[in-house]
Amino acid sequence: MDVGLAFPQMTIGLDRDRTLGWCRAVDEGPFSSISAGERVTFDNLDGFTLCATAAAVTDRVRVLFNVIVAPWHEPAMLAMQLASIDVVSGGRVEVAVGVGGREQDYAALGSPFEGRFGRLDRSVAELRRLWTGGEAAGGGQVGPTPVQSGGPRVLCSGTGPKSLARAAHWAHGVSGFTIAADPVEAGANFRLAEAAWTNAERADRPRLLTGSFVALGPDADTTLQAFGRRYLAVFGERAAKGLSRRMPLHNEHALGEFLRGLAEQGCDEVILVPASNDLDQVARVADVVQQYVAG
Q: Give the tens place of pLDDT for each residue, 14-52.
A: 999 999 999 999 999 999 999 999 999 999 999 999 999
Domain range enclosing 211: 2-294
Q: Which residues pair with 250 in a beta bridge?
A: none
Q: Once rounded to an integer, what is the mean pLDDT over residues 74-88?
A: 98
Mean pLDDT, the chain, rounded, equals 96
The number of distinct structural domains making up the chain is: 1
Per-residue pLDDT, 198:
98
Give yes or no for residue 292 having a pLDDT over 90. Answer: no
Q: Rounded mean pLDDT of 189-216?
A: 98
Is 80 exceeded by the pLDDT of residue 294? Answer: no
Reference 33, options 98, 94, 96, 79; nearest CA is 94
What pLDDT, on a 0 to 100 scale, did the predictor assign at position 172?
98
pTM: 0.96
Q: Which residues pair with 139 in a beta bridge?
A: none
Q: What confidence category does residue 159 fall into, taking pLDDT thresholds of 50, 70 and 90?
A: confident
Q: What percent of the chain has pLDDT over 90?
A: 94
Percentage of the residues of the chain whose pLDDT score is greater than 70: 99
Supply the pLDDT for residue 295. Answer: 67
Q: What is the pLDDT of residues 93-152, one digit of tens each?
A: 999 999 998 899 999 999 999 999 999 999 999 999 999 999 998 888 998 999 999 999
Tell me the per-residue pLDDT of 206-234, one tens digit each, with 9 for 90 and over. Answer: 999 999 999 999 999 999 999 999 999 98
- The closest of 233, 183, 229, 228 to 208, measured between CA atoms, is 183
Question: Cβ distance 288 to 257 under 8 Å?
Answer: no
DSSP the chain: -EEEEE--TTSTT--HHHHHHHHHHHHHTT-SEEEEE--SSSS---HHHHHHHHHHH-SSSEEEEEEEEGGGS-HHHHHHHHHHHHHHHTS-EEEEEE--S-HHHHHHHT--STTHHHHHHHHHHHHHHHHTTPBPTTSSB-SPPPSSTTSSEEEE---SHHHHHHHTTT-SEEE---TT--HHHHHHHHHHHHHHHHHTT-SSPPEEEEEEEE--STTHHHHHHHHHHHHTGGG-HHHHHHHHHT---SSHHHHHHHHHHHHHTT-SEEEEEES---THHHHHHHHHHHHHHH-
> Residue 24's domain is classified under what CATH number?
3.20.20.30
What is the dihedral angle through the alpha carbons of 33, 34, 39, 44, rounded to the nearest 10 degrees?
Answer: 170
